[in-house]
Structure 1
């Protein structure tokens, strides 16, 4: 068990307070604090270990992810800084939820009403299950980590330690390049037209949160990729376009040419890390890329080709450097105004995120069977989805502010759309 006397005091240069950190902390004033927590559920088979064993496993690695032992504190001038929690107690962060099923839940189902900032901004729970299955839930405030650093933390705790720590401590090598922010002008111009509402979602999202996940073989997306030259991410976005078309037919099933060309602007977060920085940095190294999904297109193959154009490799690569400069290298007021516009519900209808492939994980000697994302929900947004890829599985998590049937319907339609797209690629490959 770690105590204040045993928490490593070694300084870590990967802790960063950036403009996204400040933005996420500001959001606590306009939405429920628990909406800003996201994470993952690890599903395992067999009997669960004790919560004391889980705490012991985590305590062995507290020297690696600094987010575990550091909190965000306010400075005298009202800014934020990371500081080591002098009263850190692992028992306050790793607990047990004996009465809950082993399934993904919105973060507020696991968290207390307001975790506060007096302690590090993460929590972990053992879900003992029924003897056949058990789980481990981890959530973190978005001010502290983005998806890449959250996944890397899980790999540092429960994966191959040599791989997980290979790139640590390199985040101070990046040079400021403010001129690259000029390349973000076309990205910002893409938000000049307001995003239409989706009939399936409530106009004014309420307090209810519902989370549904569905899993398909990862080989399905790889088959689509091999047949079309698309990336797995592009194949997923094409399937999501078809799913949204089914999910909200009043919006996308018109028969005119104008209806067929209708697109839905969504926010696609991209990792803006540079090679020298590694991927263990605490904080948020992401950019918000608007992408128009061709939901009006009835043909799955043509939807895929349009996604490959709208979310091309070149556009994503160029966008990453531009969005990083926009976040870090331009004056504060300009940066905050641009970030607010790129993530505004009035300019994007929903968020379509994805985590990078996750390395194999093992908890207390038991291999992790699947990893399912726990999305968060930005203020005034009604839907946030995250794709995870673990071993041979691809899992989509859908969090909505609508009723429980709303998230389940979109997730089910995504499964159907993946199958439909795989079949379309087979027909094209066969020339039929």
Structure 2
């Protein structure tokens, strides 16, 4: 029997929404692309390497079985010949991204732990890539970070933080009765419908554009210091700026109003670093909309994201995640993911440890986010060493939205430039 609890309603909803997808672009597959410098390895050696570390990675050795009250995490030994493969791609750098888009549409192994790894090579003369994909019902960003650290990082030394673990959740005080009304009130905005993305003339689809853009990490830090904000605030403000500029002509109903975004708050503790299932809470904030200078937008963004940084509020979210009656939590998840409440999803993650496979060093990491049906746009921003990479998954029903990555990058540059 598995030592892990039942899947949460948040886990189950990721499987349910995928069933609504009319195209595999809108599946619930998430992952990362590791870019390495060095000789292309032998796939057999890679399988042996992963096999030697599976014991400490239960999220790779369990599958989600059943549904509703009967759902269980079931132990299952992965067949590494099936889970780890190899693919040669074209010789141009853009051929790698094209290959990732194709692999994203392919189903994960059936009746087996929901993950796969693909060794990709041919696109660079002195390197290769490792594509890791999994199902969002089984792993969130925290557990994927833990897997990458376990497979390709040096062992943690005492006191060294893992990127998988929320820094202040373990230290957060237990919610007190007098704090609950104020904290609960912060959850109410995500219950409000907005219908911002429900256009009779342009219904949303299940087709997605998948685009990446990259910039120096120093640019984010410069903008954050100048605005007395976090780097996550900079990412969010830049996205709101990009959407407002795009919507002015392409989607007028979103041009002059606050932009509702859903932000996953990591609530994973050290003991749960590699456990199967999600340990996050999707929290909605309404970012400042309309036309305004980027610096003003950052200041107003910093104000609305303050609860996300509050240990008290995280303690409440953790209590909801672990102590709320299952039926009530399921109702909360169902209400917050109803079509008229779905909106842009944004994640921000920092990989703090340097990764490598043997002598081959990871010099860059791209995130891969899912964009389920009803979600117009999903973005994951992943910082690793000197580079920040943003993955945009965009509903193709949004006219001209392929410009959003460039608009976001320019908004970050404007914020950093105004600081100099």
TM-score between both structures, scaled by the size of structure 2: 0.84
Determine the C-alpha separation between the residues in 1 that align with 2:301 and 2:58. 38
Which whole-Å deviations, capped at 9, do the CAs of 1:63-88 have from their partners, x for residues lacking one?
1211222222238x9622222225x3
Determine the C-alpha separation between the residues in 2 that align with 1:54 and 1:202. 50
Pairing 1:93–2:92 present? no
Which whole-Å deviations, capped at 9, do the CAs of 1:185-237 have from their partners, x for residues lacking one?
332235424141388x9943333222111111111111112222101111111
- Aligned counterpart, 1:83: 74
Q: Return the match for 1:47 from 36, 39, 50.
A: 39
Which residues of structure 1 form unaligned runs of 5+?
A: 1-10, 427-432
Determine the C-alpha separation between the residues in 1 that align with 2:202 and 2:138. 30
1:189/1:349 Cα in 2 relative to 1: closer, same or farther (>3 Å)?
closer
Question: Which secondary structure state, in structure 1, belongs to the residue aligned with residue 350 of structure 2?
Answer: coil
Pairing 1:368–2:362 present? yes
1:259/1:211 Cα in 2 relative to 1: closer, same or farther (>3 Å)?
closer
- Aligned counterpart, 2:247: 248
Q: Return the match for 2:30 from 38, 51, 73.
A: 38
Conserved? CA contact 1:327–1:339, under 8 Å: no
When structure 1 is superposed on structure 2, of 64-73 and 405-414 the one drifting more is 405-414
Question: Which secondary structure state, in structure 1, belongs to the residue aligned with residue 418 of structure 2?
Answer: helix
- After TM superposition, the structure 1 = structure 2 runs for residues 317-328 of structure 1, keeping only pairs within 5 Å, are 317-328=311-322
1:177/1:18 Cα in 2 relative to 1: closer, same or farther (>3 Å)?
farther
- Aligned counterpart, 2:331: 337
Determine the C-alpha separation between the residues in 1 that align with 2:267 and 2:407. 30
Question: Which secondary structure state, in structure 1, belongs to the residue aligned with residue 354 of structure 2?
Answer: coil
Determine the C-alpha separation between the residues in 1 that align with 2:108 and 2:255. 46
Determine the C-alpha separation between the residues in 2 that align with 1:236 and 1:272. 21
Determine the C-alpha separation between the residues in 1 that align with 2:305 and 2:252. 23
1:96/1:379 Cα in 2 relative to 1: closer, same or farther (>3 Å)?
same
Q: Return the match for 1:289 from 276, 283, 305.
A: 283
- Aligned counterpart, 2:299: 305
- After TM superposition, the structure 1 = structure 2 runs for residues 345-384 of structure 1, keeping only pairs within 5 Å, are 345-384=339-378
Which residues of structure 2 form unaligned runs of 5+?
A: none
Determine the C-alpha separation between the residues in 1 that align with 2:326 and 2:239. 35
- Aligned counterpart, 1:272: 267
Pairing 1:22–2:12 present? yes
Q: 1:59 Cα shift?
A: 1.6
- After TM superposition, the structure 1 = structure 2 runs for residues 154-169 of structure 1, keeping only pairs within 5 Å, are 154-163=148-157
Determine the C-alpha separation between the residues in 2 that align with 1:414 and 1:21. 30
Q: 1:336 Cα shift?
A: 1.9
Determine the C-alpha separation between the residues in 2 that align with 1:354 and 1:277. 22
Determine the C-alpha separation between the residues in 2 that align with 1:134 and 1:404. 34
- Aligned counterpart, 1:220: 219
Which whole-Å deviations, capped at 9, do the CAs of 1:246-299 have from their partners, x for residues lacking one?
222237899xxx976x3111111111235x645333311111111112131421
1:163/1:344 Cα in 2 relative to 1: closer, same or farther (>3 Å)?
farther
- Aligned counterpart, 1:230: 229
Question: Which secondary structure state, in structure 2, belongs to the residue aligned with residue 145 of structure 1?
Answer: coil
Q: Return the match for 1:126 from 91, 116, 119.
A: 119
Conserved? CA contact 1:124–1:139, under 8 Å: yes
Conserved? CA contact 1:146–1:284, under 8 Å: yes
Conserved? CA contact 2:88–2:122, under 8 Å: yes
Determine the C-alpha separation between the residues in 2 that align with 1:108 and 1:67. 24
Conserved? CA contact 1:265–1:290, under 8 Å: yes
Determine the C-alpha separation between the residues in 1 that align with 2:252 and 2:158. 46
1:302/1:202 Cα in 2 relative to 1: closer, same or farther (>3 Å)?
farther
Determine the C-alpha separation between the residues in 1 that align with 2:398 and 2:99. 12
- Aligned counterpart, 2:410: 416
Q: Return the match for 2:102 from 104, 109, 116.
A: 109
- Aligned counterpart, 2:197: 197
Question: Which secondary structure state, in structure 2, belongs to the residue aligned with residue 425 of structure 1?
Answer: coil
Conserved? CA contact 1:291–1:311, under 8 Å: yes
Q: 1:102 Cα shift?
A: 5.6
Conserved? CA contact 1:212–1:397, under 8 Å: yes
Number of residue-to-residue matches in the alignment: 406
Conserved? CA contact 1:58–1:157, under 8 Å: yes
Question: Which secondary structure state, in structure 1, belongs to the residue aligned with residue 324 of structure 2?
Answer: coil
Q: 1:27 Cα shift?
A: 2.6
Which whole-Å deviations, capped at 9, do the CAs of 1:89-137 have from their partners, x for residues lacking one?
1011001122466634697721575436410010110001243342110
1:396/1:345 Cα in 2 relative to 1: closer, same or farther (>3 Å)?
farther
